[in-house]
Structure 1
Amino acid sequence: MITMSDIIREGHPTLREVAKEVKIPPSLEDQETLKSLLEYVKNSQDPEKAATFNLRPGIGIAAPQIDVSKRMLAIRVTNEKGELIEEALFNPKVISHSVEQAYLTSGEGCLSVDRDVPGFVPRYRKVTVKGFDINGQLKTLKLRGLPAIVFQHEIDHLNGIMFYDHINQKDPFKPIENAVAIDR
C-alpha cells in the first residue's frame, strides 16, 4: 500500500523525467503498481482510512510520484453531473482537445508539492484520452471540466512537467482569455 512516505517531493529528479512507456500486455508488477495508485486515491478520499494511514487526500496520482518512471496514472474524481470518474491507465495520451480552456479558481495542488503555489493553471476544457486499462485493453475517454484538468495534470507528471510550470510567473492571477473558471 502506498503511503505519504512513498510519494517523492518536488526537487526529486524522477519528477522531471519523461516516463517510459509500459509494455502491453502489462506485466504483473506493472498491474500491481497501477492497482496501488488507484488504491491510494480511493483510500485518501476515505476520511477514516486517510487518518489511519496518514494519507493526504488526492484525486489523482502518477507513477513518477512514487519514483516509478513509467507511464501510468490513476484518478478518482466526480464530474459536473456528480458522476464518479475512476480510471487507472497505462500509456495515457491526449489525442484531441478543445480550443477552449479552463482553470480552477482555487489553483491546483499536488501530492508531491508541500506548499501552496498560487495562480491559475491554464488547461484544455475538454480532452479525449486514449490509454490501456489494468488488463491491457485500449480505452478512450471523453472528459470535460475537472476530470479533464486532473488527467492533464497527471499526464504532465509523465512528461516531467509540474503544474506550476504553467502559471504566469509575472502575474499568477492574470485572467485566462476565453477560459471557463471552475470552482472546486
Structure 2
Amino acid sequence: MITMDDIIRDGHPGLRQVAEEVQMPPSEEDINILNSLMEYVKNSQDPEISARYNLRPGIGLAAPQINVMKRMIAVNVTDEKGELYSYALFNPKIVSHSVEKSYLTAGEGCLSVDEPIPGYVPRYARVTVKGYDIDGTAVKLRLKGLVAIVFQHEIDHLNGIMFYDHIDKKDPYKIIENAIPIER
C-alpha cells in the first residue's frame, strides 16, 4: 500500500523527468503499480482509512510521484453533477483540446507539494484523452470542467511539469482571458 512516505516531494529530481511509455500489454508489475496508485487515491478519500494511515486526501496520482518513471495515472473524482470519474490509465495522452481555457478559483494543489502555492493555473476547458485501462484495453475519454483539469494535472506529471509552472509569476491571480472559472 502506498503511503505519504512513498510520495516524493517538490524538489526531487524525479518530478522533473519525462516518464517512459508502458509496454502493452502491461506486465504484472505495471498492473500492480497502477492498482496501487488507484488504491491510494480511493483510500485517501475515505476519512477513516486516511486518518488511520495518515494519507493526505487526493483526487489523482501519477507514477512519477512515487518515483516510478512510467506513464501511469489514477484519477478518482466527481464532476460538478456528482458523476464519478474513476480511471487508472497506462500511457494517457491528450489527443485534442479546446481553445477555451478554465481554471480552479481556489488554485491547484498536489500531493508532492506540501505548501499551498497561490495562483490561477490555466488549463484547457475540454480535453480528449486516450490511454489504456488496467486490462490493456484502449480508452477514449471526453472530459470537461474539474475532471479535465485533474487529468491535465496528472498527465503533466508524466512530462516533468508541475502545476505551478503554469502560474503567472508576476501576477498569480491574473484573470485568464475567456476562461471558465471553476469553483471547488
Give TM-score, length-normalised by structure 1.
1.00
Superposition map of 1:84-163 within 5 A: 84-163=84-163
Superposition map of 1:37-76 within 5 A: 37-76=37-76
| Unaligned residue ranges in structure 2 (runs of 5+) | none
Q: Which string of whole-angstrom CA distances, capped at 9 and with x for unpartnered residues, describes residues 5-58 of structure 1?
A: 000001111100000000000000000000000000000000000000100000
Q: How big is the shift at 1:81?
A: 1.4
Quick one: distance in 2 between partners of 1:55 and 1:87? 20
The alignment covers a number of residue pairs equal to 184
Quick one: distance in 1 between partners of 2:161 and 2:101? 18
Q: Which string of whole-angstrom CA distances, capped at 9 and with x for unpartnered residues, describes residues 106-155 of structure 1?
A: 00000000011000000001000000000100000010000000000000
Identity of matched residues, %: 71
Quick one: distance in 1 between partners of 2:120 and 2:146? 14
Q: Which amino acid aligns with 1:138?
A: A
Moved over 3 A (4+): none
Indicate the residue corresponding to 1:17 in structure 2.
Answer: 17
**SS of residue matched to 1:119:** coil
Quick one: distance in 2 between partners of 1:82 and 1:127? 19
Q: How big is the shift at 1:178?
A: 0.1
Q: How big is the shift at 1:79?
A: 1.0
Give TM-score, length-normalised by structure 2.
1.00
**SS of residue matched to 1:127:** strand
Matched, 1:178 2:178: yes
Quick one: distance in 2 between partners of 1:54 and 1:81? 29
| Unaligned residue ranges in structure 1 (runs of 5+) | none
